[in-house]
Structure formats: C-alpha cells, structure tokens
Structure 1
Amino acid sequence: MNISNDPTSPPNEYDDNYPDYEPCSFSDSNSVNFVVGPYIHSIICILGLVGNSLVILTFALYKRTKSMTDVYLLNVAIADLLFVLALPFIVYNEMYSWPMGQVACKLLRGSYSVNLYSGMLMLACISTDRYIAIVQARRSFRLRSVSSSHIICFLIWIFALLVSVPTFHFYHWYEPSHHEITWFNSTEEEETTDPQYVCEWKFDDSNTASIVKVAVPSTQLAIGFFLPLLIMIFCYTSVIITLQKAKSYKRHKAIRVVMVVMLVFIVCHLPYNLALLYETVSYFELRDCHAESSLKTAMSVLQTVAYLHCCLNPLLYAFIGVNFRNHFRRIFQNLCCLGQRYLAPRHSSRVTSDICMSTVRRSVDRSSRTSTSFLT
C-alpha cells in the first residue's frame, strides 16, 4: 500500500479514515504516459489490427484449419484482434474520464482480461502441439486431431472467462468523491466543474480490496504468464533437442525459428511480469512519491513492450511458414487482379484477368504441396 494518491487511479470509496497525505504529482509518469498512450499504442493498434486481420482473412477465404496448430493460430489471432480493438478505449480511459457508462466499462475491462488469458494459453497449446508432432512423432496421429483442438480452444475461452469474473464484477463506472482527478487533457490552472467519471476498481470494504488487488494480479502472473512460459520452455527445449538429432537440411532453420519464438516471448513479457510481481508483493509496503512515480513509469513502458507481442504473433506463428506466406501472397494477387480488372481497358480486361487467374492457380498449387507447420 503506497502513501501517495494516484491521479489516474481514484481512491477507494470505502476508506473514510485514510490519513490526508499531500497528493503526488507523478509528473514524470504522466509525461511518459502522454507519449506512450496516444502515439506508441496507436502504432501497436494499427500493426496488430492489420496483421491479425490478415491471418483471420487468410483462414476464412483461402486456408482451412487442417491441423491443431491451424486452430490454435486462428484463435490466437482472434484474441489478439479483440485485444487491439479494446486497447484504444483502455488508453482513453487511463488518460481521460470514461463517458460510456457502466456496461461498456465492465465489457472493456472484462474482455481485456479474457483475451489476455486466452491468447497466452493458446500460445502454450501451440508449443504443446509442436512438441507432440516432433518429439512424440510416433504417437502424434493418435494425439492430434482437429476436433479435439476445437474442444480445447472452447475450454480455454470458458476458463479465461471464469478467471476474469472478478474483473467483470469489481470494475465500476463512478464519480470519485474523495479528491479531484488530474486528467491529461487539463492544465493546472483549469478547474473542471463537470462530473468526471472513471472506470476503475471499486470495493465495499478494505478487506475485499486487499484480497482482490493481490489475487487478480497473482492469478494473471500464475496463469497468464508463468504457466505458459514453463510449458513453452519445456516443449521448445525438447523440440530443439530432437531437431538437433535429426539429419535434415531444414533442422537449422527450424531451430532458429523455435529460438526466436521463445526469445521474443520472454523479451516482451518477462520484464513487465517481473515488475507486476514486485508491485504485487510490495502492495502493503509504504512507498514515497519518487519510488511510486518510478514504478509507474517502468510499468507503463514495460506494459507497452508486452503489448508489442500481439503485433509479432502473426509474423512469428503464421507468416513465417511457407504455406501461410503463399496464401498471404494470394490475397494480394487477387486484389491486384481486381484492380486491373476495373482499371484496364475493356478490350484487354479479359486477357489481364486470364493472366491473373493463371498466376493465382500456380500459387495455390505450390502452397498445397507445402507444409503447414510454422517451423518450415
């Protein structure tokens, strides 16, 4: 428990006997958030929206889910897409007041939690599927089926929804009453008389607040990071050992891909989750304004690095495979054909269309003969 009053996180409505400390300004943290919020997060939203939309579009129009990895890739793309769609509203809520009401507040925060858990657990499932396909190759045909992957994905979404129930329940839309909130769009000289509503935690008593504010991040750390991390380390380490024993000219490329996947996951998520672990463990400790401001600045920057992973997932898990790249290329070929069909002169449109369709067919024939694994 820190001794400062965070202007972006309103105080708990239940605490009437809290001592009156002078509020911290958090000028350094606010300056970082002002840059990270509207600019860097906008880039993440655009890249994540384009990349994951292309993955979903490719599965919908050109590539059918023929393996467990395909099913998991599709669900990861859906989770990441829903996350980047919610991210602008989360950033707006952290920088300004929340004008959209109670239902939108709960849906926003709850969907963020659901997509976080589901996306991370799907990545663990992909590593498990690669482990079974490569390390347990003799038993892979019996253990891997598309129907079972659909069941697993359904159970993961249900599980993510269940562990997100506290977020749905305890986030509320309300007007803080104990002190004024300093928003990024206001200056020190301004005095806003209009009601400023927030979408934040709200509790009925201090005991509930203490339990939830420790239990929720602890669950996020355990299920949303450390469990997938341990599964990925075990599975991909076993895959690398098995590939090193294989006498194939593709093994070096496959090993590099696996190591890049693990490295990117660790670099993106480990720093933020370690900072979150420190914040959770030291929740009941008193911190001065400088320490609190430094922690908030670090959390803001490291959280943005973690958000980058939703942009990198399409590159790491989808477009790195030859088969997926061929389908992706086919999308642009069809778009070019449509453009040439409507822009070319009428007498040459038929010839142009025939050439385009011939090119597309050759691309499809090549892609149908390639592997679906993201390791090739």
Structure 2
Amino acid sequence: MELTTLNYDYNTNSDYPDEELCNLDPDPMEIITQTYIHSFICAFGLIGNSLVIVTYIFYKRTKTMTDVYLFNVAVADLIFVLALPFIIYNEQYNWPMGSLACKMLRSAYGINLYSGMLLLACISGDRYIAIVQARRSFGARSRSLIYSRLICSSVWVFAVALTLPTLIYTKCFEEPSPGADTVTVKCQLYFSKNETAKLVKVLVPSLQMAFGFLLPLLVMMFCYSSIICTLLRAPQSSQRHKAVRVVLAVVVVFILCHLPYNVALLKHTLSLFKERSCEAEKVKLQVLAISRGVAYLHCCLNPILYAFIGVKFRSHFRQIMLDLWCFSKKYIYSARSSRGTSDVCISGYKSSEGSHHMSSFSA
C-alpha cells in the first residue's frame, strides 16, 4: 500500500534559526539503502499481487465478495509498486517526464493509498458479516457480487476525491542545487500563496491519517474483535485456532506497518509551522523515511495475509506453477510433439469452491 510524504520546499531561512541554508538532501549511504529496500518491495509486491490478479481472472471459477475485494486490493498495490520507482527517482534526481506525468503519478500514488486501505476495511466488514452474522447472511453473500462491485467502485471514486488537493497543487518546478550553479526539476506540491500552502500542508496529511489509517484501523479492530469472540465460542477445532491466528496476524501486521509512519507523520505535521533546528529536521525526515519504508512493506504482505494463506488460493498458485511448467515444456519439446503432455498437465486443474462459516479465512 502506498503512502504519500510531505516533500515540501524546506530549504528556506524562514523555517530555521540558522543563518545559512539548511541542506536536507539524504546522504549517499541513505540513498543506497533506500534503493535496495524499495527494489525488494517492488519485486515482491509485483510478484505477489500479479499472482492474486492472475488467480482471480483465470483460476477462480466462482467469485465471492471477498474475491472482488482482494482483486481490487491487489490492483491498488500493483499500481503502487509500479509507480514507486518513478517516485523514488524523482526524490533523488531530476524529474524528466513533464508536468502532466508528474500530476498523474502523484495522484495515482495517493489514490492507491486511500483505495487500498479502505478496501482492507471492506474485507474485514465482509468477514464480519460472513462469520458473526452467518445465519442472517446465509446464501446472501454469494448473490451480492453486484453490491461488492458497487462498493469497490464507490471506494475508488472516494479515493479520487480525497486525492484532488494533490492533483491540483502538484507541479513541476525548478530549484537551485545545493552547492552548485545548476537547477533541478522537482515534481512536488507547490504553492504560490502562503495561506494555501498552510492549508494544504495540514489537509493532505490529515486526510491521509484519517482515511488512510485511523478509519480502516477502527473498522478492522471492531470487526476482527467480534470475529475472534465468535470463533472462541465455536467448538474446539484446529481450524478455529488457525482462523484466530490469521485474524491476529492481519491486525498486528497492519498496526506494525502503519502506526510508526502515521505517528511520525503526525509529529512532523504539528511542527511544520514552528521554528526548528536544521539537525532536528534532518533526524525527523530520516525517521519519516525509515517508517515510510516499513509501511510500504504492507503491499508485499497483503497477498500472503489475505489470499495465499487460504487453502484454495494456495491450490490455485500450485496450478499456476504447473501450467507455467507445462507451457515451457511445450515449447522446449515442440520438436518431439509434446502437445499431448502439455494438455494432460493443464487439464489436471481441479477446483473446489465449497464453503462454510470460516471460509473467509480459507478462500
């Protein structure tokens, strides 16, 4: 899942008591470390979320509401990991792609934050209905795919609306390079009036913390705590224990990934209009960068926590690997007329779409 950061122009004497300009650019070692971490996130996020999308499109014969939500979360995470290298490049070098691409990329960055987080809240709500309200919802969820698609569409529209300040005020602008006579082109939030800058500098992180963290967290805490209470009242079984562990893992990982960044972002936002020293600002931005990298990891963990932890998705994953193996063999041994072998491999696909009251944790 994606998170925006407050990359405003801090290098002004009005912000600091020091007489000289404060250079807040990261040091080379920090840049190298961030590059390796973001490369890891991009690689594993791309693989995991692509597998979820392929599974949904080609291997899931019967779609449920949870499947629709998982597919949309995977799409949001996939767009994020594809956009992440360009965002990181922009933070370290010149922006070479023009103003339109600048606005589109920054906006896509924010849209996927909000949509991804709100969709995770929708998944927790769906599991709450499936387990806590199992009797009332019996037979209804399988007939409610149209509602899940409408909910997902509404989430995406709402995410676009929340990202409008970023779309409007993101621009390409030139700024002098520290210690050099050249200028660099940056793709960041840019303001012509101080009043607008103060408003948006508070509005953007406030929306991010409210709708990208606090609201999903509250929904997840309520739904999953109710689910755990329901599961603990159920008869003793290994499946019940596994379901409880899955619920706890989902909540704990969400908090560990996103709480540090949102706390750092809150502290950073509260100090925006206060006089602070250059060294304190450097430390604060380093903490933001580290906690932001931890938050980015969540997009790699989502496929494991929400999809491939389930029996059905794991069986689909194995089938994908088998199909890829058979597909490669078909071309490697094409001279030996291996078409029959490939057909046997691919035709070995079997699907079991049965469900029960804990199926939300084994889908």
Compared with structure 1, are the counterparts of its residues 357 and 207 closer, same or farther at alpha carbon in structure 2 (3 Å cutoff)? closer
Whole-Å Cα distance in 2 between the matches of residues 43 and 17 of structure 1? 35
What is the identity, as a one-letter code, of the residue corresponding to 2:211? I
Query: Is residue 2:191 matched to residue 1:203?
Result: yes
Distance in 2 (CA, whole Å) between partners of 1:103 and 1:368 is: 45
In 1: Cα distance, 2:217 partner to 2:14 partner = 42
The alignment status of 1:59 with 2:56, answered yes or no, reads yes
Q: Deviations over 1:180-212 (max 9, x none)?
A: 234xxxxx6xx454x421111111210110011
Q: CA deviation at 1:312?
A: 0.5
Cα deviation code 1:307-328 (max 9, x no counterpart): 0000000011010111111111
- Alignment partner, residue 163 of structure 1: 162
CA contact (8 A) 1:127 1:231 kept: yes
Q: Identify the residue that residue 5 of structure 1 maps to in structure 2.
A: none
The residue type equivalent to 2:275 in the other structure is L
Q: Report the 3-state secondary structure (helix = DSSP H, G, I; strand = E; otherwise coil) of the residue aligned with 1:286.
A: coil
Instruction: Find the partner of 1:228 among 216, 220, 223.
Output: 216
**Number of the residue aligned with 1:254:** 243
1:115 aligns with 2:112: yes
1:277 Cα offset (Å): 0.8
**2:133 counterpart (136, 147, 150):** 136
Which stretches in structure 2 are left out of the alignment for 5+ residues? Answer: 1-6
Cα 1:32/1:12, change in 2 over 3 Å: closer
Task: Report which stretch shifted further, 117-126 or 278-287.
Answer: 278-287
Cα displacement (A) at 1:373: 3.6
Q: Is the 8 A contact 1:36 1:304 kept in 2?
A: no
Given that 2:264 and 2:288 are in contact with CA atoms closer than 8 Å, whether structure 1 keeps it comes out as yes
How far is 1:260 from its partner? Answer: 0.5
- Taking the aligned partners of 2:157 and 2:91, their CA distance within structure 1 comes to 28
2:83 alignment counterpart: 86
In the alignment, the residues of structure 2 paired with residue 90 and residue 98 of structure 1 have an alpha-carbon distance, to the nearest angstrom, of 9
What's the offset of the Cα at 1:155? Answer: 0.4
Of residues 302, 323, 329, the one that matches 1:340 is 329
Q: Give the Å deviation of 1:141.
A: 3.7
Can you list the C-alpha shifts for 1:122-161, whole angstroms capped at 9, x where unaligned? 0000000001110011122476311100000000000000
Are the aligned partners of 1:115 and 1:160 in contact in 2 as well (CA < 8 Å)? Answer: yes
Q: String of CA shifts for 1:3-42, please: whole Å, max 9, x gaps.
A: xxxxx743599x9999984122447x43464124321101
* 3-state SS, counterpart of residue 361 of structure 2: coil
Look up the SS of the partner of 1:174 in the other structure: strand
- How far does residue 368 in structure 1 lie from its aligned partner after superposition? 3.6
8 Å contact from structure 1 (residues 175, 197) kept in 2: yes
Letter of the structure 1 residue corresponding to residue 27 of structure 2: N
SS in 1 for 2:135: helix
| Structure 1 contact 36–301 (Cα < 8 Å) conserved | no
Per-residue CA shift, 1:91-111, capped at 9, x if unaligned? 001001111110011001111
1:4 matched to which residue of 2? none
Q: Does 1:311 align with 2:300?
A: yes
How far apart are the structure 1 equivalents of 2:21 and 2:140?
Answer: 58
Is 1:48 equivalent to 2:45 in the alignment?
Answer: yes
Letter paired with 2:113: L
1:357: Cα distance to partner? 4.0
**Structure 1 residues 1-376: aligned runs within 5 Å:** 9-10=8-9, 21-26=19-24, 29-31=26-28, 33-64=30-61, 66-141=63-138, 144=141, 145-176=144-175, 180-182=176-178, 191=180, 193=182, 195-249=183-237, 250-344=239-333, 349=338, 352-353=341-342, 355-357=344-346, 360-361=348-349, 364-365=350-351, 367-369=352-354, 373-376=359-362
Distance verdict in 2 for CA 1:336–1:22, change over 3 Å: same
Runs of 4+ in 1 over 4 A off after TM superposition: 15-20, 345-348, 369-372
| Number of residue pairs matched by the alignment | 352
1:20/1:259 Cα in 2 relative to 1: closer, same or farther (>3 Å)?
Answer: closer
Residues 173 and 199, structure 1, Cα contact 8 Å, conserved in 2: yes
Runs of 5+ unmatched residues, structure 1 = 1-7, 183-187
Q: CA RMSD in A?
A: 2.5
Conservation of the 8 A alpha-carbon contact between 1:86 and 1:108: yes
